Chains A and B, each alone.
Chain A
Amino acid sequence: MTDPIVPQPEAAPEAPKGPYVYDYAASPQRQVVMPKTVPLPSRRTYLAEVKAAAEADEAKWQKMLADFETAKTKAEAEGKDAPKPPVRPVPRKDDNDMKTPWPEEAKDADLLLLQACLGAKVEEVFEQAGELTCQVSKDTILEVLLLCRDHADLRYEMLADQTATHYPAATGWDYSVVYHLTSISRRKRLRLRILVPEGFIPDSACAAYPSANWMEREIYDMLGITFANHPDMTRILCPDDWEGHALRKDYPVVGWGQRDIAFREDRGGMIERIALQKAGQLGINLKQPKAE
């Protein structure tokens, strides 16, 4: 235990260990803008938003009415013409071929069956844009996958896709991992979703679906989520010594080799000379016109 009051001598700078630390001070052009919202589709959040919007709308209308009443009494007291009564604003209707798909209540038999089988392990079920989503608790994912595969009324034989998304603005969790299951015999699709915090190691889906092998390696490579009991948890697309995980939202888009040539710092004129030389070969006149 070190005494917090006594200042410790500064340790020699070492190479960053563990998660890669991006040195934005040394390269400000690599700074990223972090997302501020958590765009996780959910019927619960949607209903809360709709309720809040309706309440805000109602409060605005009540304020307009109250303002009208005060203006009316004031006008009557001053002997002026009464002001026009307010009209409740109608939401603008767009004339286009778009119909936004909202999260709807789960009516599909598969989702209801999952809810009945799993009980409290199911966190949320809803349908959106014709797709079924079932969010389960993060510890039970392998059990749920096995149930989906083996249950006589579900029969989801194939894991079509597995991927993850980084939500840095969320509280209590950081990533959503989604599993897209396909039932070939029943012609149905189902999305399972878990929310995992940084450092949590979910069970690998390889025990239920061997096709998860490379997909989970890709998730590890791109987002840094490791999976328990995976046969070969290594990077797949990037080299083994790559630093950082590219699809995290804090990963810079601009690379190291990409920078503006600061001609002002080009004291010797070397870069300018090369540029002019190259431009000359292409027949372009890059020389600045001199004032007479």
Chain B
Amino acid sequence: MFKNEEMEINLGPQHPSTHGVLRVKLRLDGETITHCKPIIGYLHRGVEKICENQTFFQGQVWTDRMDYCSAVANNLGWAEANEKLFGITVPRRAQYIRTMLNEFNRLASHLIWLATHALDIGAMTVFLYAFREREDILDLNEAFCGSRLTTTAFRIGGLREDLPPGFEKMARKFLAKFETCLEEYENLLSENRIWKKRTIGVAKLSAEDAIALGVTGPVLRAAGVPYDIRKAFPYAAYAEMDFEVPTQTAADTYARYLVRMAEMRQSARIVQQCLDGMPEGPVMAKIPKILKPEVNEVYHATEAPKGEIGYYLVGEKGSTNPYRFHVRAPGFINLQCLPKMAEGALIADIVAAIGTLDIVLGEIDR
């Protein structure tokens, strides 16, 4: 009557909960996942090869299009890696503006994570609230660089333009109301019984496993490891900022939710400090119009909203193009731990596991 055999199903590649085109091959024993294999590459565009055939300046537009939810963070890592390669010192005002925009971007990225993660699990309302605030941040992006998502915000050596008039007022207005908005989300979720049932104890990943699998970002911090590159290897103006690295020890989906919510508060704090302590001065270093490096290789890692984004560049003497351009995408490395999280869990929890990793396939496949 009943067959006692395992069933194999595909989640995706066109599934709304996979945030792009991720295919997960699952083998099920009843409702329990016995085997899980993520299959990626559907969005592979060869960004690294393209950037190797363009000049150092032109690579930036491709970094926007990797993780389109946190383009500014990608731009920042790219700009700083290039500055390390050439040995450029960036003016202090530019550092502050970069830090501020990066934190606004972290807010936007975490908001879109919150919205879609809650939507995946079944809480529809948060989506609308979170997108309302994200819209304001995109407006700030637009005011600064004319573009909302693919920002191309920075230049090697600083910024193209100073802040536009009225930006500070817009930013302060946003910050004034943001705390109440965060409370709104928390009212909807933190003590919500369904949300807690769907997230507590789901998709656990211990600190040892996370470190062994190279997982970074909020997923690692929710396992109790206070590793934040902004603190560990300060870059931009983070050395001068006063902020905390929120951690949790439960290492489950709910803990990651709490970590990201606390991180949003810290980001708002950093933005406030940047606005208050904004130094005067130029925003662009004095650099030649055409950059040609000496033989050098750099690996520069920054803390993107999703984890450590690293750029590995090799410079060839006298060439205007990078000899090698490699991106260590946080989502690519973080997604490796999906089998660890999902195997042995119920099939309904795989959606929570994918959501809690906060992946964007544009960056994983590059």
Contacts and interface: CB of A to CB of B under 8 A. Distances in A.
Interface string B309-322: 01010111101000
A46 B317 CA distance: 12
Interface in A84-127: 94-102
B40 A236 contact: yes
B288 interface: yes
B262 interface: no
Interface in A145-192: 157-161, 163, 165, 178, 180, 182, 184, 187, 189, 191
B44 interface: yes
Interface of A is mostly: loop
Interface stretch (B124-132, B190-198, B292-300): B292-300
B286 A96 contact: yes
A160 B301 contact: yes
B323 A165 contact: yes
Interface stretch (A21-29, A33-41, A55-63, A195-203): A33-41
Nearest to B48: A247
Given A96-B286, A161-B312, A178-B297, A247 B40 contact: no
Interface residues of A, number: 52
Contact of A184 (B213, B225, B319): B225
B15 interface: no
Interface stretch (B83-91, B95-103, B343-351): B83-91
Interface string A229-256: 0000001111100000011000101000
Contact of B299 (A35, A94, A189, A211): A189
Report the contact-size class of chain B (Cβ under 8 Å from the partner): 35 or more
B87 A35 contact: no
Interface string B200-215: 0000000000011111
A184 B293 CA distance: 31
Contacts of A41: 295-297, 314
A126 to B, nearest CB: 11
B167 interface: no
B49 A163 contact: no
B287 A97 contact: yes
B41 interface: yes
Contacts of A187: 232-233
Given A95-B286, A97-B89, A97-B286, A129 B211 contact: no
Interface stretch (B28-36, B248-256, B324-332): B324-332
Contacts of B303: none
Contacts of B336: 211, 213-214
A31 interface: no
B175 interface: no
B358 interface: no
A98 B214 contact: no
A160 B89 contact: no
A199 B177 CA distance: 60
B49 A99 contact: no
Contacts of B85: 129
Nearest to B291: A98
A99 B46 contact: no
Contacts of A37: 316-317
A210 interface: yes
A209 B233 contact: no
B365 interface: yes
Contact of B87 (A39, A46, A99, A211): A99
B333 interface: yes
Contact of B328 (A99, A129, A160): A160
Contacts of A213: 336
Nearest to A215: B333
Given A97-B157, A161-B299, A184 B232 contact: yes
B86 A161 contact: no
A222 interface: yes
A274 to B, nearest CB: 28
A42 to B, nearest CB: 8
Interface string B270-288: 0000000000000001111
A122 B317 CA distance: 26
A100 B41 contact: no
Given A160-B310, A161-B310, A98 B86 contact: yes
B73 to A, nearest CB: 17
Interface in B83-119: 84-89
B214 A211 contact: yes
Nearest to B297: A41
Given A98-B88, A210-B212, A35 B227 contact: no
A94 to B, nearest CB: 7
24 contacts: A35-B323, A37-B316, A39-B314, A39-B315, A39-B316, A39-B323, A41-B295, A95-B286, A96-B286, A97-B89, A98-B87, A99-B87, A100-B294, A101-B87, A160-B310, A165-B314, A189-B233, A209-B212, A211-B212, A211-B213, A214-B335, A236-B40, A237-B41, A237-B365
Given A98-B287, A160-B308, A237-B366, 16 more contacts: A35-B316, A39-B314, A39-B315, A41-B296, A96-B286, A96-B288, A97-B287, A98-B87, A160-B214, A160-B216, A160-B301, A209-B212, A211-B215, A211-B336, A236-B40, A246-B46
Interface of B: 40-41, 44, 46, 48-49, 52-53, 84-89, 157, 211-216, 225, 227, 232-233, 285-288, 293-299, 301, 308, 310, 312, 314-317, 319, 323-324, 326, 328, 332-333, 335-336, 365-366
- What are the nearest 8 A-B pairs in CB distance? A211-B214, A39-B316, A97-B285, A161-B328, A237-B41, A99-B87, A237-B44, A96-B286
Interface of A: 35, 37, 39-41, 45-46, 94-102, 128-131, 133, 157-161, 163, 165, 178, 180, 182, 184, 187, 189, 191, 209-211, 213-215, 218, 222, 235-239, 246-247, 251, 253
